[in-house]
Amino acid sequence: MISDKMTAFVQGSSVIRAMFEEGKNMAKKYGQENVYDFSLGNPNVPAPASVNKAIKDIIDEEDSVFVHGYMSNSGYEDVRASIAASLNKRFGTGFAENNIIMTVGAAGGLNVILKTLLNPEDEVITFAPYFGEYRSYVGNYDGKLVVVSPDTDTFQPKFDEFEQKITAKTRAVIMNNPNNPTGVVYSEETLKKLAVIMEKKQKEYGTDIYLISDEPYRELVYDGVTVPYPTKYYKNTIVGYSYSKSLSLPGERIGYLVIPSEVSDYENVSAAANVATRILGFVNAPSLMQRVVGRCVDAEVNIEPYNRNRELLYNSLKEYGYECVKPQGAFYLFVKSPSEDETEFVNAAKKHHILVVPGTSFACPGYVRIAYCVAYDTIKNSLPGFKELAQEFGL
């Protein structure tokens, strides 16, 4: 007999994960090369050589008890200092080691910060389309996810609706920049507008509204676009980062939270996040990987394969008549489904061995997410299928 909350989950489960498992089964059945699995954001670009070199060097050079042993729950001080210095160099921020907490991926970091901040019934706002797990994470702490509806022309935030949805119970806002599933990047102007609204509401209600910027795709940007560093626009900003996508280490579970000294109640937020790391069962981020990212803090992120994929897939789908806002970040295309109910298109695609994720999973029905972090040839070989589907659906 399982808990009531989990009963609901077992029935609902994860569409993305179900697709991933389905893709593996299809690959077993038809052969890997005949399945075009665009469902899971699992980077196909290997980790940089410097990462694997770092692993081996650390094993050879650093003391085993140190490398594999416990350390402060927030992580090795030297690693945190290196990360802070790197951020300061890149973005002109003023962080120190005490502003960084190493986390078990971004997902671990989000759980830590939400445990730190949320009382039951507290509201957390996010912008559709959004990564469906936000709902689960907020639900873990009995918070209430409040969703701003999607602007399907641009997938930028709807500022008026955002302002209206902030209440006295709004404890946090989760922003994902660059965005999963749309790949859009919020500009500096957008961040400034959001900040003005949140400052206004903080004053109006006499509350603290923390902006949680979830940014595992920060370095995956194209067309010369850069992602502004959000702490510079709004004092109560906490950043969640992960090396899953930038260094292709999603399985290793390594990321960090940035809790700037300027945030309201910094001492308690920082202390609580440290404790939450321990009692939620993370205890600390994996030790060897902390040492690795400490050494690889300025590693080059190779985005060229993703960009090449983006161009091929986007241009081809546009040619076939699909509608899509061209993404400038991450590795997803969010494409308008040619069928009103995207389930129809998703199922038809499966017959062509194409796996995509329904937009409903991201609170944006009528769309599908296509993850292009796959081999170039996978995209190339899937194109005839996408073309046939376009014709089947009368595009």
109 near its own copies, rule: CB under 8 A: yes
331-356 core/surface letters (b: 16 or more CB in 10 A; e: else): bbbbbbbbbeebeebbebbbebbbbb
The residue within the footprint of its own copies, chosen from 104, 185, 349, 368 (CB under 8 A), is: 104
Q: Minimum distance from CB of 154 to its own copies (Å)?
A: 30
- Window contacting its own copies (CB under 8 A); options: 85-93, 280-288, 295-303, 324-332: 280-288
Site string (297-326) toward its own copies, x via CB under 8 A? ------------------------------
The residue within the footprint of its own copies, chosen from 131, 137, 229, 233 (CB under 8 A), is: 137
The residue within the footprint of its own copies, chosen from 238, 252, 305, 317 (CB under 8 A), is: 252
281 Cβ neighbours under 8 A, 6+ residues apart? none
The residue within the footprint of its own copies, chosen from 131, 282, 331, 372 (CB under 8 A), is: 282
The residue within the footprint of its own copies, chosen from 39, 83, 115, 129 (CB under 8 A), is: 115
> What is the sign of the dihedral through the CA atoms of 24, 28, 32 and 37?
negative
CB 7: neighbour CB atoms within 10 A? 11
Of 158, 101, 111, which Cα lies nearest the Cα of 138?
A: 111
Question: Scanning residues 164 to 223, which ones bind its own copies (CB under 8 A)?
Answer: 207-208
Question: Scanning residues 138 to 157, which ones bind its own copies (CB under 8 A)?
Answer: 139-141
The residue within the footprint of its own copies, chosen from 26, 79, 83, 117 (CB under 8 A), is: 117
Side by side, which strands form the sheet with 367-371? 332-336, 367-371, 357-358
In this structure, are residues 185 and 229 in contact, taking their beta carbons and an 8 Å threshold? no
The residue within the footprint of its own copies, chosen from 19, 35, 36, 73 (CB under 8 A), is: 73
What are the CA-CA distances from residue 79 to residues 93, 99, 257, 287, 323 (Å)? 17, 12, 13, 10, 44
The residue within the footprint of its own copies, chosen from 19, 100, 112, 371 (CB under 8 A), is: 112
Structure tokens at 222: 């194209």
The residue within the footprint of its own copies, chosen from 86, 93, 136, 302 (CB under 8 A), is: 136
56 near its own copies, rule: CB under 8 A: yes
How far is Cα 389 from Cα 161, in angstroms, rounded to an integer?
A: 36
Using the minimum distance from each CB to its own copies, give the nearer residue, 134 or 345: 134
- Window contacting its own copies (CB under 8 A); options: 82-90, 274-282, 316-324, 343-351: 274-282
> What is the sign of the dihedral through the CA atoms of 62, 65, 71 and 75?
positive
391 near its own copies, rule: CB under 8 A: no
